[in-house]
A and B are shown apart, each in its own frame.
Chain A
Amino acid sequence: MTTDSNTVRARVDHDICASAAACVQRAPQAFRLNAEGLSEFVPADPVDADTVQHAADACPMGAITVFED
Chain B
Amino acid sequence: MIDIAGNTPASLDDLLSDQAINEPTAYYNRLRAHDPVYWNGRWNGWIVTNYADVVAGFRDHGRLSSDRFDGPFAKDITESASRYGQLIEFMNKWMFTKDRPYHIHLRSLINTAFTPKSVEVLRPRIRELVRGLAEPLINRDRVNFLGEFAFTLPIIVIAEYLGVPADRRLELRSWSEDLGAVIFSEAENPGRFATGEQAMTDLVNLIRPIVRARAIEPRDDLITAMVHAEVGGDRFTEDEIIANAVLMVFAGHETTMNLISNGIVAFDRFPEHWDRLGTDERLARTAVEEALRYDGPIRALARWATEPFELSGKRIMRYDRLLLVQHAANHDPQAFTDPEQFDPHRWPNRHVGFGQGIHTCLGAPLARMEAQEAFAYLSAEFSSVEVLTTELTYNRMVVSRSLRNLDVRFHPR
Measured CA separation A20–B115 after assembly (Å) = 13
Chain A residues with CB under 8 Å of B360's CB are 18-20, 60-61
* B59 within 8 A of partner (CB): yes
A20–B116 contact, CB under 8 A?
Answer: no
Chain A residues with CB under 8 Å of B237's CB are none
What are the interface flags for A35-69 relative to B under an 8 Å C-beta threshold, 1 for contact and 0 otherwise?
00100000000000000001001111110000000
For A59, give the chain B residue with the smallest CB separation: B116
B358–A21 contact, CB under 8 A?
Answer: yes
Count class of interface residues, chain A = 10 to 19
Measured CA separation A40–B183 after assembly (Å) = 35
With contacts A15-B348, A18-B354, A61-B360 known, is A54 near B116, CB below 8 A? no
Measured CA separation A15–B364 after assembly (Å) = 15
B111–A62 contact, CB under 8 A?
Answer: no
B362–A60 contact, CB under 8 A?
Answer: yes
The interface residues of chain B, by DSSP majority, are classed as: helix
* A22 within 8 A of partner (CB): yes
* B107 within 8 A of partner (CB): yes
A26–B354 contact, CB under 8 A?
Answer: no
The interface residues of chain A, by DSSP majority, are classed as: loop
For B117, give the chain A residue with the smallest CB separation: A57
For B352, give the chain A residue with the smallest CB separation: A18
Measured CA separation A16–B347 after assembly (Å) = 10
Chain B residues with CB under 8 Å of A15's CB are 347-348, 350
Measured CA separation A60–B55 after assembly (Å) = 17
A60–B112 contact, CB under 8 A?
Answer: no
A21–B357 contact, CB under 8 A?
Answer: yes
Please name 27 pairs of A and B residues whose Cβ atoms are closer than 8 Å in the assembled complex, sorted by A. A15-B347, A15-B348, A18-B355, A18-B357, A18-B360, A19-B356, A19-B357, A20-B358, A20-B360, A21-B357, A22-B111, A25-B104, A25-B111, A26-B108, A26-B111, A57-B112, A57-B116, A57-B117, A58-B111, A60-B111, A60-B116, A60-B354, A60-B361, A61-B354, A61-B364, A61-B365, A62-B116
